[in-house]
Amino acid sequence: MGRLDNKTAVITGATSGIGEAVAKMFAAEGAKIIVTGRNEDKGNALVREITEGGGEAAFIACDLRKKDSIAALKDFAYAQYDKIDILFNNAGVLVHKPFLEQNDEDFDLIMETNYRAYVWTMQAFLPEMLKNESGNIINTASISSIWPESGATFYGAMKAAVTNISRNIAKEHVRDGIRVNCICPGPIMTNMTPAGFDEEKAAEAGLLAMGHIGKPDDIAYAAVYLASDETAFMTGQNIIVDGGVCVSN
Ligand SMILES: NC(=O)c1ccc[n+]([C@@H]2O[C@H](COP(=O)([O-])OP(=O)(O)OC[C@H]3O[C@@H](n4cnc5c(N)ncnc54)[C@H](OP(=O)(O)O)[C@@H]3O)[C@@H](O)[C@H]2O)c1
């Protein structure tokens, strides 16, 4: 028996990194999943891998910076399943450079992908969840939401906005069968990890409290926990999974 048996889930940013790990773990725990990202080859390969392993998955390409693309994701999801139990908002991008070098284009990219897309996706799925009096929204924020990091100014601000709006929506719908929680990952090895990243140097600089970087599965375990009924009494919270970075600085 899986911890997510009979649940349906939509996972954004599933074509690599954390989202891909979450998709595989959700499917392994029995969830029927819909995965998105812009990269069709990677999305289709992920679906093949999951279905060949006995799971149930479907992919739709989606650019979350476009509202009509999110509407298409919602239509696709509800064409597959009458009810979506879990919305895992996870897609994101990082621009890492000094504040004064960050321009309007950087701001738009970060704000539209890391914040506005989360708002639009929640606004797309929440009405159906409310009709069903049941919905579980999990948003990927970051330790950057709470822990200042030079070079991640716009990124950190938008991640903080994600944790803030999540708590507000959790409060607004606390009596409606809706839960909204965030995961705040620390450094995890993915395509987002800056090119030339040196684990030893990062550890020496105090950026990796445990001395090593995290794996996407470290976040997927927390995602399964939040997606499961084990957290039925939990809403408006942030789970920090950062290898001890926040407590060591
Ligand atoms: N890695 C870390 O250290 C770390 C730490 C804290 C928080 N996070 C957060 O974790 C989440 C996942 O990141 P990751 O580390 O797994 O990075 P990643 O491997 O680069 O994955 C990012 C995902 O976002 C998708 N994406 C980006 N822009 C998109 C758009 N406009 N429309 C649709 N999908 C889009 C990408 O898919 P396509 O390219 O196919 O569109 C990809 O699947 C992000 O929200 C990130 O901010 C990561």
CATH number of residue 90's parent domain: 3.40.50.720
- Is residue 221 in some structural domain? yes
The whole model's pTM is what? 0.98
pLDDT value, residue 43: 98
pLDDT value, residue 206: 84
CA-to-CA dists, residue 130 to 53, 80, 139, 218, angstroms: 33, 19, 18, 31
**Cα 1 to ligand 1 centre (Å):** 30
CA-to-CA distance for 49 and 106, rounded, in angstroms? 34
- Is residue 112 in some structural domain? yes
**Cα 175 to ligand 1 centre (Å):** 31
- Is residue 1 in some structural domain? no
Has 155 been annotated as catalytic? yes
Q: Which amino acid is at 181?
A: N
- Is residue 125 in some structural domain? yes
Regions of the chain with pLDDT less than 50: none
pLDDT value, residue 33: 98
- Is residue 239 in some structural domain? yes
- Is residue 161 in some structural domain? yes
Q: Taking CB atoms and a 6 Å cutoff, what residues make up the pocket around ligand 1?
A: 13-19, 37-39, 42, 62-65, 90-93, 113, 140, 142, 185, 187-188, 190-193
- Is residue 35 in some structural domain? yes
Q: Of the residues 10, 11, 12, 16, which should be mutated to test ligand 1's pocket, given the most ligand atoms within 8 Å of the CB?
A: 16
- Is residue 130 in some structural domain? yes
- Give yes or no for a contact between 85 and 7, defined as CB atoms under 8 angstroms apart: yes
Whole domain around residue 103: which residue ranges?
8-248
Query: How many domains is the chain partitioned into structurally?
Result: 1
**Cα 151 to ligand 1 centre (Å):** 18
Residue with the two structure tokens 């997510």 = 4
Cβ neighbours of residue 13 closer than 8 Å, sequence gap 6 or more: 19, 36, 37, 90, 91, 92, 140
